[in-house]
């Protein structure tokens, strides 16, 4: 006697076994009354469940008409809401640029204050670790970089807004086309 | 306008053609899709909701969602799995929003070819079966319905429910084991 194939019977009953396994189960079932009885339970359970039929169906034309009534007047755009949203990086880059710009602004202000204090009071506050010339040079570089960041951010935002407006316009055109049938 | 009638065996291909038309805003093609799949979708939502009014409402809602999301459908996916997934979600939403108001046993099962005694006996048996199914947890019930009533393959069920095939098999086994215990008397009678 082969070992029982209980664990394969459900898949066998559902027609989900590969052919080699199916032959194996069929061969076993010919000799094993226990597995045959178990398979019979699957069959009977299916029959019992399927005896419960859906009692009534709305006529197809009426059902379809009811669905039509619930449909929005226009076909949704091919661009889904998710696709319509700007990608995260597109928002992240200007944000980083603005933060860098703000940081540089603060650095320049602090540098200016220190230099002013140094010159006004005649006290070389930080001369022990950096020279006034060094401060001036750094300050000039920071100012240049600051300006570049500001210009870059402005260009990026302008380009982004133009792209966004063009996108929205295209989306509206698609929606209108979808509604005309 | 395309020819909407199709020979047997080419349903899936024609579905894709209809979807392509519907994606361009062709409401007649969409209506044909609705008519073609109405039976299976209402059957599915009815099995899940246990209430015909809720089931029809959920089925209609499912088709509205299909229309609203046609642009995201890609032909490489099986339309039936996509449709069933939407219908399953619509039925679950419907159940959460509006519990069934009809007793599961109260649905008419009258058959003119049967005696009143036979009808009463059948009502009793079917009521017992419905209660047993209703007692299953939602994940088990969904897998059972998709397999036993909708006759989807394990892979299709996995696609509809976004679960692995192994999980489909284990849930199906659990559901059947519980049902066999619950319906032992009826199975012995059979």
Report whether A46 contacts B144 (CB < 8 A): no
- Total structural domains within chain B: 2
Contact at CB, B60 and A66, closer than 8 angstroms: yes
Q: Is residue B25 less than 8 Å (CB to CB) from chain A?
A: yes
DSSP of A72-116: -SSPPPSS-HHHHSPPHHHHHHHHHHHHHHHHHHHHHHHHHHHHH
Comparing alpha-carbon positions, the chain A residue that sits nearest to B1 is A181
Statement to judge: residues B12 and B96 lie in one domain: yes
Contact at CB, B52 and A56, closer than 8 angstroms: yes
Contact at CB, A68 and B31, closer than 8 angstroms: yes
Contact at CB, B25 and A70, closer than 8 angstroms: no
Mean pLDDT, each 10-residue run in order, chain A (181 residues): 81 93 93 92 92 81 90 65 57 76 79 71 54 64 76 81 75 43 28
Instruction: State the Cα–Cα distance between residues B64 and B17, nearest whole angstrom.
Output: 19
Statement to judge: residues B79 and B117 lie in one domain: no
Q: Supply angle C-alpha A47, B45, A76, rounded to 5.
A: 145
Instruction: State the Cα–Cα distance between residues A173 and B159, nearest whole angstrom.
Output: 34
Statement to judge: residues B79 and B153 lie in one domain: no
Contacts B169 to A, Cβ<8 Å: 10-11
Q: What is the pLDDT of residue A73?
A: 75
Instruction: State the Cα–Cα distance between residues B126 and B106, nearest whole angstrom.
Output: 11
- Domain presence at residue B2: no
* Predicted-complex ipTM score: 0.80
Q: Is the pLDDT at B58 greater than 90, yes or no?
A: yes
Range of the structural domain that residue B184 is part of? 109-190
Q: Is the pLDDT at B43 greater than 80, yes or no?
A: yes
Instruction: State the Cα–Cα distance between residues B85 and B81, nearest whole angstrom.
Output: 6
Instruction: State the Cα–Cα distance between residues B178 and B139, nearest whole angstrom.
Output: 13
Instruction: Please enumerate in sequence order all residues whose Cβ is within 8 A of that of A146, keeping only pairs 6 or more positions apart, or say none.
Output: A101, A104, A105, A108
CATH code where residue B122 lies? 1.10.10.10
Find where tokens 């088990």 sit: B140
Cα distances (angstroms) measured from residue B168 to each of A105, A162, B164: 60, 49, 7
Share of chain B above pLDDT 90, in %: 49
Q: Which of residues 30-69 of A touch B (CB under 8 A)?
A: 41-42, 44-52, 54-58, 60-61, 63-64, 66-68
Is the pTM for the entire model greater than 0.90?
Answer: no
């Amino acid at each position: 006697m082969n070992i029982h194939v209980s664990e394969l019977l459900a898949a066998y009953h559902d027609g989900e076994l590969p052919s080699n396994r199916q032959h194996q189960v069929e061969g076993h079932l010919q000799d094993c009354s226990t597995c045959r009885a178990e398979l019979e339970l699957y069959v009977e359970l299916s029959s019992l469940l399927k005896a419960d039929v859906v009692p009534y169906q709305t006529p197809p034309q009426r059902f379809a008409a009811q669905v039509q009534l619930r449909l929005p007047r226009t076909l949704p755009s091919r661009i889904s809401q998710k696709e319509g949203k700007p990608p995260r990086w597109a928002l992240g880059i200007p944000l980083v640029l603005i933060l860098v710009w703000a940081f540089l602004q603060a650095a320049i202000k602090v540098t200016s204050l220190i230099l002013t204090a140094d010159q006004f009071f005649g006290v070389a506050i930080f001369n022990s670790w950096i020279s006034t010339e060094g401060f001036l040079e750094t300050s000039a570089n920071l100012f240049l970089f600051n300006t570049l960041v500001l210009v870059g951010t402005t260009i990026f935002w302008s380009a982004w807004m133009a792209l966004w407006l063009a996108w929205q316009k295209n989306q509206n055109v698609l929606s209108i086309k979808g509604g005309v049938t | 306008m395309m020819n909407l009638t199709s020979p047997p065996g080419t349903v899936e291909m024609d579905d894709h053609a209809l979807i392509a038309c519907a994606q361009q805003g062709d409401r007649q093609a969409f209506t044909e899709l609705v008519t073609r799949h109405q039976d299976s979708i209402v059957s599915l939502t009815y099995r899940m909701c246990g209430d015909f009014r809720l089931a029809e409402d959920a089925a209609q809602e499912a088709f509205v969602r299909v229309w609203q999301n046609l642009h995201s459908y890609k032909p490489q996916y099986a339309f039936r799995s996509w449709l069933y997934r939407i219908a399953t979600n619509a039925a679950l939403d419907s159940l959460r929003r509006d519990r069934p108001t009809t007793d599961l046993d109260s649905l008419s099962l009258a058959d003119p070819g049967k005696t009143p005694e036979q009808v009463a006996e059948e009502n009793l048996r079917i009521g017992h079966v419905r209660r047993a199914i209703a007692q299953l947890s939602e994940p088990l019930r969904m897998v059972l319905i998709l397999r036993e009533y909708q006759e989807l393959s394990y892979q299709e069920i996995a696609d509809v429910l976004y679960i692995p095939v192994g999980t489909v098999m284990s849930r199906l086994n659990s559901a059947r084991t519980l049902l066999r215990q619950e319906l032992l008397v009826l199975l012995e009678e059979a």
